[in-house]
Amino acid sequence: MHALRPIRPAAPLAVTPLSRGTIGRTLFALAAFMAMTLFALPLMAAGTALRLRGDVTARGDTLSLGDLVEGVPAELAARPLFRAPALGSIGTIQARRIIESVAALGLTGIETGGRVQVTVQRAARRVGPPEIEAALKRALETGYGLDAKALSVRLDGDAPVLLAPLDLDGQAVAVDVTFDPRSRRVAGLIVLGERQASLRVGGVAVETREVAVLTRSLNRGEAVASADLTLERRPRDAVPADVQGAPSLVVGQVAQRPLSAGSVLRSGDVAPPDLVARGDSVAIVFETPGVSLSMRGVANESGRLGASVSVTNGASKKVLQAVVIGPGRVSVSPAPQPQPVLQASAAP
């Protein structure tokens, strides 16, 4: 512990006449005090309290008095006090430094609310991978004649982001783009405005195709509804050649095996439903020019539209080969008549 020093007795005061310089300095100090008092009177009359703000978001390069303190006069609110942190980053300012800077402007009595520092976040526009990819695809379509809809760009690195001031609200553009058709490598500069913000990126351009993907699992024999399918773009080299690309063509067809959600739908995974089931009663239609007959029978096997199935005539019990022409209906064609064989006579 530091020892306390005793208080020394005060020396007798010497009375000296005031000089003109001393009187002038005293009057100047009194005038300055009166000016500060008159400046502070409107604030006191209005009952405006000065309060330190909490966490602050900076939208520019500097932080003004009004950004950090509530209740300041309008003519001083825009006075810059501190430099803002870098775009997209966070910094802190000690409360005592703010109070000292404000006191230099003639304002005192700031309520801190118990804060010892103020956190400042610099607002920024973030141009992420989707906008970067879109800019590169537009450049590849314009400069190299590629189909932007059939492309996907795999960017190098871990999700590159271009940080820019908020007032740069235009579309991101890719410039100085290069592309190697053999390696599929693409590189370019992503810019905003007149190159006021830029980021150099690279990646690989991958050709894609639309495929039908199941949104839920299907059991064997279950019909496919339009809500069960969604279109996605997948790398062309990573999907089989027989994938389904048009959901409208498979809606109403049935699964030929169990199918899991998220799987790409292939041509053999679904098929049109059977219109005739084995053991069902069917209408057997027999038609020839000028003759149309219909009789009842039983299907010996199942079949979809256009399939050839075996049926048994209910009256004659004769087994016939028929073609499915509709739900519960089959058609039997007349047996072809043998052509007469013409035998040539021997030459005399």
Answer yes or no: is pLDDT of 333 > 70.
Answer: yes
Domain edges within the chain: 49-121, 125-206, 212-269, 278-330
Cα 233 from Cα 133, distance rounded (Å): 15
Q: Which of 250, 249, 239 is nearest to 211 (CA)?
A: 239
Say which residues have a Cβ less than 8 Å from residue 171's Cβ, sequence separation at least 6. 135
Residue 11 pLDDT greater than 90, yes or no = no
**Which whole number is the average pLDDT over 107-134?**
93
Alpha-carbon distance 242 to 26, whole Å? Answer: 98
More confident residue, 86 or 48: 86
* More reliable by pLDDT, 199 or 22: 199
pLDDT higher than threshold 80 for residue 252: yes
Domain 49-121 fold: eubacterium ventriosum atcc fold (2.60.480)
Q: 88's torsion region: left (phi>0), alpha (psi -120 to 50) or beta?
A: left
pLDDT digits (tens, 9 = 90+) for 209-225: 889 999 999 999 899 99
- What would the two tokens of residue 224 be? 């496919």
pLDDT at 210: 87
Tell me the C-alpha distance between 250 and 228, whole Å.
11
pLDDT given at position 235: 86
> For position 29, what pLDDT does the model report?
55
The pLDDT value given to residue 38: 47
Q: What is the pLDDT of residue 119?
A: 94
Percent of the chain's residues with pLDDT above 90: 55
Q: How confident is the model at residue 274 (pLDDT cuts 50, 70, 90)?
A: confident
- The CATH number for 212-269, chosen from 3.30.1360.70, 3.90.1210.10, 1.10.3210.10, 1.20.1250.20, is 3.90.1210.10
**Structure confidence at residue 54 as a pLDDT band (50, 70, 90):** confident
* Of the listed ranges 33-37, 239-243, 290-294, the one predicted with least confidence: 33-37
User: What is the assigned CATH class of domain 278-330?
Assistant: mainly beta
By the 8 A CB rule, do 203 and 179 touch?
A: no
User: Does pTM top 0.85 for this prediction?
Assistant: no
* Average pLDDT, rounded, for the chain: 83
Q: How confident is the model at residue 44 (pLDDT cuts 50, 70, 90)?
A: very low
Task: Select from 256, 262, 267 the least CA-distant residue to 223.
Answer: 256
The predicted pLDDT at position 240 comes to: 85
Q: What is the mean pLDDT of residues 113-142?
A: 95
**Residue-level pLDDT at 85:** 93
Residue 35, pLDDT > 90, answer no
User: Does position 1 have pLDDT exceeding 50, yes or no?
Assistant: no
CA dist., res. 35 & res. 52, Å (int): 25
pLDDT at residue 41, rounded to an integer: 42
Residue 27 identity: L
Task: Name the phi and psi angles at 220, rounded to 5.
Answer: -60, 130
Q: pLDDT, tens digit, for every residue of 140-197?
A: 999 999 999 899 999 999 999 999 998 888 999 999 999 999 999 999 999 999 889 9
Per-residue pLDDT for 23 more than 60? no
